[in-house]
Amino acid sequence: MIKLEKRPQPSKRWTFATPIVAVLLTMFFGGVLFAALGQDPLVTIRTIFFDPLFSEFAWFYRPQLLIKGAPLVLIAIGLSFGFRAGIWNIGAEGQYIVGAICGAAVGLAFYPMESFIILPLMVVAGALGGLLWAMIPGLLRVKFGTNEILVSLMLVYVAEQLLASMALGALRNPEGMGFPGSRNLAQYPSATSWINQSAGMHWGVVTALIAVIFAYIALSRHIFGFNVRLSGQSPRAARFAGVNPGRLILICMGISGTLAGLAGLFEVAGPAGQVSIDFNVGYGFTAIIVAFLGRLHPVGILLAGGLMALTYIGGEIAQSNLGLPIAAIQILQGMLLFFLLAVDVLTNYRITLARKAH
Amino acid sequence: MTTKTLLASAALALGLATGATAQDTTTVGFVYVGPIGDGGWTYEHNKARLAVEEHFGDAVETVFVESVPEGPDAERVMTQMALQGADLIFTTSFGYMDATINVAAQFPDVKFEHATGYKRADNVSTYSARFYEGRAVQGHIAGQMTESNIIGYIASYPIPEVIRGINAAYLHAQEVNPDVEFRIIWAYTWFDPAKEAEAANVLIEQGADVILQHTDSTAPQAAAQAAGNVVTFGQASDMAEFAPFPRVSSIIDDWAPYYIARTQAVIDGTWESMDTWDGIGPGMVGIGEITDAVPADIKASAEDLIERLRTGEYHAFTGPINRQDGSVWLADGEIADDGTLAGMNFYVEGITAEIPQ
C-alpha cells in the first residue's frame, strides 16, 4: 500500500526539483491536450516554449519577454516577503493600478515641461501610491484584525473604478476628441520609462533586477529575512525572538505595495503609455503564480517570471500560427500551478510502501 | 539599428520571401478583443472571417488571436502577425487604435483596418457601422412595449459610439411614448457575463421592463428570461436562442461583405486608405427578425421605420432635437452631420442621467 510519510525536514533536493518536474509534467500533459485538439504536440510545445527564444523572429520576441516579465517579477518579489511570513496580499493588482495612477498624474501635471526631475518624481509618486493602497489592508489587519486577503482583494475592484474615473475625468487627454484615456506618456520624453524600446529595456526591467538582488540579500543575509522566515514557520518562536508581528505585517504589506506600485508606474509610462480604463491586464494576479512557481526565492521568481512571459508570448504565436484557442493556453498556464502544488507534496512528504501491520 | 528599421527590413525581406514562394496566397490576420465564442461582437467578426475563407478558398489564408488585451499585448500580436507575413490585418476593437497606428508605421507594406477608430494613415483604414440606425428601431419598439415606462440600458464605455446609441434609442422611444424614462448603467466592459448579468438585475429591480444592451454577452438575455416579463434585444449578434421572448429583435453586425471586399482590394492591388461608415442600407447593420411577441401594429411600424432608414428617406437624427441642457442642436428638419455624430459627447434633451466624467 502506498503511503505518504512526513519528512522530518523538507527535502532540499525536491525543493529545487519541484518546479522543473512541474514544468516537464505541464509540457507532457499540455502535449496530450494539444494532441486531443488535433495539433501536433511536439510542434505546439516547440512553438510555445522555444520559438520565442530561438525562432527566425526571436530578435523581436526576446525583448518582448523583458516587457512582459518585468512587472511579473517586480510584483512577485514584493509578494514573496509577505507570503513567506504568512501575510497574504492578494490585491497587488489594485496597488499596481493606484501606483500607475499616482505616477502618471505627476507626469501629466508637468506636461509639456521637459526636465530630468520628472521621471524620478513620478517614480516616488508611483511607489507611494502602491504603498498607501497596501497600507489600508495592512492597518486594518493590525488595528482591527480584519482578514487582509479579503480586504486587499476587494480593494482591487475599488482601484478599477478609480482607474475608470481617472481615465474619463481628471487625467483624460484634453486633445483626445472626447474619448477616454490620458495623454501618451511614452511620447513625452521627460516622463517615459523607456530606455531603449527596441531592446525591450525600460526602468521597470532595471528595477526588477535590482529588486531581485536586494531581496536575495535581505532574505539570506539579513536579520529581517530571518524574522520573515521565522514568522512564517513558527509565529510563536518569532514572538519569543522579539519579532513584533504588527510591524512585520506592515513592512511586508508595504514592500509588496511599493513594488506593485512601481511596476504600475513603469508600465503606464512605457509599454502601456496611457492611463486607460482597461490599463490593468492581471499582472497582479499572475504574479501570485510566479511567486509560488519561483518557490518564493528571488532567483526562482526571476526564472518563473521569464517562464510565465514565455507562455504568454509563445501562446500568442501558437494561436496565430497554429489556430490554437486561447482557452488551451490558459489551461496550460493553470496546469503549471496545479502540477507545482501537486509535486510540492514530495518536498514535505516521502512516498513509502507501507507494510501491513501485524 | 532602431526597431523601426529593423522591423521594416525584416518586413521587406519577408515580403520578398513570400512574394517568391507563395504568390497566390494572401494572408489576412484578425485581432479580437473577446473570445470567439462570446455570442456577440467577436463572434460576428469571426463569422465574417470564416466567410472570407469560404469566399476565397485556397487563395486566402486567415489567422486570428482572440481575447487580446488593449495596450502592449495588442501591439505585440499585430507585430507578430505582420512579421509572419500577413498582408492585411483587421484590428477589431476601438482600444487597438494607437497600437494599430504604431505597428502600421513599422510595416508600410502591410494594410491595416481598424474598427470604430478615427486615426488613419496611408496603410490604415477605419471602418464602422451605423449601429445607431438599429438603436432607433430598438427605441421605437421598446417605447411601445414598456408598461412601466422605464427602459434599462447597459452601456459599455462612455465613447461617442455608445452615447450615439443611447441618444438614438431614446429619441425614438420618446417619440412613440413621451413618458418613457431611461436608466443607464455603465459596465466599463465589452464582455463580462457576470457584470452584465448584475447590471441587468439591478435595472430589473429598478422597474425596467425593457433592457437594451451595448455589451456583447447573452448574460442580460438570460437575466431577463429568469425575470420572466422583461423584453430584450440581441446585440451585435442575433442571439436567436432567446427568441421569441425575451429577445424580440436584434442588431446584427454583418462584416462579411466588407471583409471580402477589402481582401479582394488587397489581392487586386487596389486597396486604399479610407473611412467606411455603413448602415442598414449597404447591409452592414442588420435587424434581426421581430418576433410575434411584438404586437402586429408595432411590428408593422417598426418595419416601416427600417425601410425608411434603409432607403435613406429618413435619418435617425433628424431635427428638431435639443441637447440635454435645452440648447438647440438640430433645427426642424435639419439632419445631423457625420462629424458631430462621430464625436458625440452629449445626451439629447429628456435623458436625465449624466455622462460619466
pLDDT in tens, B299-336: 999 999 999 999 999 999 998 999 999 999 999 999 99
Instruction: Look at A60 and B83 and tell me if their CB atoms are within 8 Å.
Output: yes
Run of H or E residues at A289 = helix A283-293
Task: Give tens-digit pLDDT for B142-184.
Answer: 999 999 999 999 999 888 899 999 999 999 999 999 999 999 9
**Distance, CA of A181 to CA of B157 (rounded, Å):** 11
CB contacts, 8 Å: A316 with chain B: 65, 68, 73, 76-77, 80
- Please list, in sequence order, all residues whose beta carbon lies within 8 angstroms of the beta carbon of residue B316, skipping any fewer than 6 positions away: B130, B132, B133, B135, B136, B168, B171, B172, B309
Asked if A174 is an interface residue toward chain B (Cβ–Cβ < 8 A), one would say: no
pTM value is 0.85
Asked if A165 is an interface residue toward chain B (Cβ–Cβ < 8 A), one would say: yes
pLDDT of A292 strictly over 60: yes
| pLDDT, averaged across chain B | 90
Q: Do domains B3-129 and B131-252+285-342 have the same CATH topology?
A: yes
**Cβ-nearest to B65 among A64, A179, A316:** A316
pLDDT band at B287 (very low <50, low <70, confident <90, very high): very high
Task: Give tens-digit pLDDT for B63-78.
Answer: 999 999 988 899 999 9
Cα of B222 to nearest chain A Cα, Å? 23
pLDDT of B16 strictly over 50: no
CB contacts, 8 Å: B99 with chain A: none
pLDDT of A352 strictly over 90: no
Rounded percentage of chain A residues whose pLDDT exceeds 70: 98
Q: So what's the pLDDT on residue A174?
A: 86
Find, among B119, B128, B55, B32, the residue nearest to A181 by Cα: B119
Domain boundaries defined on chain B: 3-129, 131-252+285-342
The set of cell numbers assigned to B330 is 438640430
Determine whether domain B3-129 maps to CATH 3.40.50.2300. Answer: yes
Which residues, listed in sequence order, are joined to residue B64 by a DSSP beta bridge? B30
Pairing of strands B247-253, B210-213: unpaired
pLDDT of A354 strictly over 80: no
Residues 96-135 of B with CB under 8 A from A: 98, 118
Q: So what's the pLDDT on residue A102?
A: 97
Task: Give tens-digit pLDDT for A56-68.
Answer: 889 999 999 999 9
Residues 207-266 of A with CB under 8 A from B: none
Asked if A303 is an interface residue toward chain B (Cβ–Cβ < 8 A), one would say: no
- Which of the two residues, B357 and B271, has the higher pLDDT score? B271
The set of cell numbers assigned to B351 is 435623458
Asked if A169 is an interface residue toward chain B (Cβ–Cβ < 8 A), one would say: yes
E-strand spans in chain A?
A: 2-6, 194-196, 201-202, 349-353
Asked if B334 is an interface residue toward chain A (Cβ–Cβ < 8 A), one would say: no
Least confident of A35-39, B11-15, B44-48, B294-298: B11-15
Cα of B290 to nearest chain A Cα, Å? 34
Asked if A150 is an interface residue toward chain B (Cβ–Cβ < 8 A), one would say: no
pLDDT of A341 strictly over 90: no
Cα of A177 to nearest chain B Cα, Å? 7
Domains (ranges, CATH) in chain A? 38-324 (1.10.3470)
Q: So what's the pLDDT on residue A150?
A: 96
Instruction: Look at A271 and B71 and tell me if their CB atoms are within 8 Å.
Output: yes
Q: So what's the pLDDT on residue A349?
A: 86
pLDDT band at A357 (very low <50, low <70, confident <90, very high): low
pLDDT of B209 strictly over 60: yes
Is-contact B285 B279, C-beta < 8 A?
Answer: yes
**Cβ-nearest to A168 among B79, B81, B357:** B357
CB contacts, 8 Å: B5 with chain A: none
Find, among B110, B115, B120, the residue nearest to B266 by Cα: B110
pLDDT of B55 strictly over 70: yes
pLDDT of B1 strictly over 50: no
pLDDT of A350 strictly over 90: no
Q: So what's the pLDDT on residue A355?
A: 65
**Cβ-nearest to B98 among A165, A184, A326:** A184
Q: What is the mean pLDDT of residues A171-187?
A: 86
Q: So what's the pLDDT on residue A175?
A: 83
**Distance, CA of B128 to CA of B344 (rounded, Å):** 15
The set of cell numbers assigned to A343 is 509535486
- Please list, in sequence order, all residues whose beta carbon lies within 8 angstroms of the beta carbon of residue B48, skipping any fewer than 6 positions away: B254, B255, B256, B258, B259
Choosing among B2, B6, B33, B98, which should be mutated to test the A contact, i.e. which has the most A CBs within 10 A?
B98
Cα of A279 to nearest chain B Cα, Å? 7
pLDDT of A314 strictly over 80: yes
Determine whether domain B131-252+285-342 maps to CATH 3.40.50.2300. Answer: yes
pLDDT of A74 strictly over 60: yes
Q: So what's the pLDDT on residue A176?
A: 77
Instruction: Look at B35 and A327 and tell me if their CB atoms are within 8 Å.
Output: yes
Q: What is the mean pLDDT of residues A225-244?
A: 86
Cα of A27 to nearest chain B Cα, Å? 22
Reduced to 3 states (helix: H, G, I; strand: E, B; else coil), residue A259 is helix
Asked if B42 is an interface residue toward chain A (Cβ–Cβ < 8 A), one would say: no
pLDDT of B7 strictly over 70: no
CA nearest to B346 within chain A = A178
**Distance, CA of B25 to CA of B197 (rounded, Å):** 43
3-state per-residue secondary structure call for chain B: CCHHHHHHHHHHHHHHHHHHHCCCCEEEEEECCCCCCCCCHHHHHHHHHHHHHHHHHHHEEEEEECCCCCCHHHHHHHHHHHHCCCCEEEECCHHHHHHHHHHHHHCCCCEEEEECCCCCECCEEEEEECHHHHHHHHHHHHHHHCCCCEEEEEECCCCHHHHHHHHHHHHHHHHHCCCCEEEEEECCCCCCHHHHHHHHHHHHHCCCCEEEECCCCCHHHHHHHHHCCCEEEECCCCCHHHCCCCEEEEEEECCHHHHHHHHHHHHHCCCCCCEEEECCCCCCEEEECCCCCCCHHHHHHHHHHHHHHHHCCCCCCECCEEECCCCEEECCCCECCHHHHHCCCCCECCCCCCCCC
Residues B187, B191, B193, B197, CA torsion sign: positive
Task: Find cell 486594518 and name the residue.
Answer: A140
Answer whether the bond into residue A325 is a cis peptide, omega within 30°. no
Instruction: Look at B76 and A316 and tell me if their CB atoms are within 8 Å.
Output: yes
Q: What is the mean pLDDT of residues A317-330?
A: 91
Task: Output the CA angle B317-B319-B325, nearest 5 degrees.
Answer: 90
Cα of B240 to nearest chain A Cα, Å? 25
Is-contact B84 A339, C-beta < 8 A?
Answer: no
Q: So what's the pLDDT on residue B12?
A: 47
